[in-house]
A and B are shown apart, each in its own frame.
Chain A
Amino acid sequence: MSSHESFIRCRGVTKTYHKGNTPVTPLSALDLDVPRGTFLALMGPSGSGKTTLLNLIAGIDSPTSGSLHVGGVDIAKLKRGQLTKWRASHVGYIFQLYHLVPILSAFENVELPLLLAPLSRKERHRQVQVALELVGLGDRSDHRPSELSGGQEQRVAIARAIVANPALLVADEPTGDLDRESATQILNLLRELVREHGKTIVMVTHDPRAAAVADTVLHLEKDRLVEAADLNMQAA
């Protein structure tokens, strides 16, 4: 993968947190390139900085130093307000625990990212319906999260992540809380989003079987990235 065609390009990315007076540096001088249309799985022990890296790529946090280009924009240079606008149209975030708004129906949850977009009500509703159908829940629009299974909730969350049509999806252990069957469905869905819809996905996982679905698997160990050739073989 040559860097000039990378969709995501990290150079010397360092992130330092301060817990009281002690600095914690989960990522230091990290380089990473992800070509457009890749399904990347990120593995590594707990505390190795996977979520931290994902948050930086998703633009909900900024690196302490280094450059972070996503789709040609150095998001490390954007201010909080600019990052917000950028997120709204460029990235969808999928969480381990779905994080749906409990009082809203599936439809209303998926609608959330579009509420601040300059769309007519009609167009907004059409996009929500398309997203829900894409995840196979077109008939569950009216259900509240509490009336859905974990797998269904995660599919609603995926619909919410793709409804504004971002090129990048990030997922933090999206199958970590699901049974095998639901997990397989979710992974197939993510796979389909890469193959059929050209999305780029960065997924954190602890599960080798989940990682096996990805195009590339990287291990984050002591803030270094290691390519997992053996897992990559399995995936192919």
Chain B
Amino acid sequence: MIAKSFNIVLLAVKQLTRHRIRSLLTILGVAAGMFLFATVETMQGSLRRATQTTADDTTLVVYRDNRFCPATSRLPEHYESTIRKIEGVREVIPIQIVVNNCGASLDIIAFRGVPPDSLTKYAPQIQVLDGTVESWKQRSDAALLGRHFAARRGLKVGDRFDAAGVVVHVAGIIDSPEPQDNNVAYVHLPFLQQASRAGLGVVTQFNVRVTSAERLDPVAKEIDEYFRSEQAPTRTRPEKAFFADTAQELVELVGFTRWLGLGAVAAVLGLVANAVLLVVRARVKENAVLQTLGFGQRAIALLVAVEGVLLGLAGGVLGVLSALAFLRWQSITIGNEGVTLAIMPDLDVVLRGLLTAFALGLLASLYPAWQAARRPIVSSLRAV
């Protein structure tokens, strides 16, 4: 049984490799569709990771109530000491954010100003690839660049650059498992406050780390309650919820790409189905001859289905891997309202892409396989 199926698979492979042009064209078409599918899946996955709070998330973002752009969210820096006293708060870091563009954009430049001594507390996950944190601490206009940011702008240690009216000196390049870190420039808080005309004592937000995930809600409520009647009321949310609310346009945009992914799937399905159907039509006689030789209906159906599945898989591998290579190489980041979304593919997308390609190949060949298997031999032999 296994040996038989193996021989049939081999025969299908011969059919594909010896009709080279036709197979190649179909595979390229499938690859294009699967490239789109994998890219869309990657965007959806990246967005999901950025917006869905998980059990071990313990960071709150305190923002100015009813404000959505870093330029307009102004909070007094002295709120820090008040927040720090709330029960369950482990760490409070005042942050100034400056972006060149508040709308949804592909080339967003985001500066994050943090107190120099708090950087390692704020972002313990970062690794310095080039330069040092020490040299960054020593220069007031120093910047640590996320590696995607640096790659996109072609910047290296020692360079100066000017963006959004801020001129900085590159003191180091960093890498981080947190995609956002790779797309920002970390600078000193007082420096950024002055450079951005926000002025000393004013920050964009506070990042508050709480002792455990259960403390997120109570602490957030307490903070907002406390500043409710101040001149600058706050709105406090878990980091990922903050992302989802703030980057509304982005979320909608990426959400819309779901339809592109669905379209790609439909196109691949149609393409493979058409290719397999044409093959079956062209091989009516050949399949009848195989049956006179002792091939059963199941063998014929298997032969057709294997061809469809192989077309789907070959195109899937090509499309998914090129999407992977493209997204890794391009390191695409979409920014919106000061938050950035890095479009980073992962293994999950690869597996899902290949599985989808397999399923589409199979689905597309079910009908042609059934059609090929059920044709009476004699009328197929008489067919011209």
Contacts and interface: CB of A to CB of B under 8 A. Distances in A.
Interface in A50-96: 55, 58, 60-61, 80-81, 84-85, 87-89, 93, 95
B84 to A, nearest CB: 76
A115 B7 contact: yes
Interface stretch (B11-19, B93-101, B240-248, B363-371): B11-19
B8 A55 contact: no
Contact of A118 (B3, B293, B381): B3
Nearest to A56: B378
Interface string B1-41: 00110011001001100110000000000000000000000
Contact of B15 (A88, A93, A103, A118): A103
A162 to B, nearest CB: 12
A143 B82 CA distance: 88
B289 A99 contact: yes
Contacts of B376: 61
A57 to B, nearest CB: 12
Contact of A112 (B4, B18, B293, B296): B293
B285 interface: yes
A60 B299 contact: no
A176 to B, nearest CB: 15
B290 A104 contact: no
B377 interface: yes
A164 B14 contact: no
A99 B285 contact: yes
A160 B293 CA distance: 8
Tell me the interface secondary structure of chain B in the complex.
helix
Nearest to A172: B381
Q: State which size class the interface on B falls in.
A: 20 to 34
A95 B7 CA distance: 25
Q: State which size class the interface on A falls in.
A: 20 to 34
Contacts of A81: 296-297
Interface in A97-125: 99, 101, 103-104, 108, 112-113, 115-116, 118
B294 interface: yes
A115 B4 contact: yes
Contacts of A89: 294
Given A61-B378, A113-B293, A103 B14 contact: yes
B291 interface: yes
Nearest to B10: A115
Nearest to B285: A99
A103 B377 CA distance: 21
Interface in A164-188: 164
Nearest to B8: A115
Given A55-B377, A61-B377, A101-B286, 17 more contacts: A55-B381, A58-B292, A60-B378, A84-B295, A84-B296, A85-B296, A87-B292, A87-B293, A88-B293, A88-B294, A103-B14, A103-B19, A104-B14, A108-B14, A112-B293, A113-B293, A115-B7
Q: Which 9 A-B pairs have the closest CB atoms?
A: A88-B294, A103-B18, A115-B7, A84-B296, A113-B293, A93-B292, A99-B289, A60-B377, A61-B378
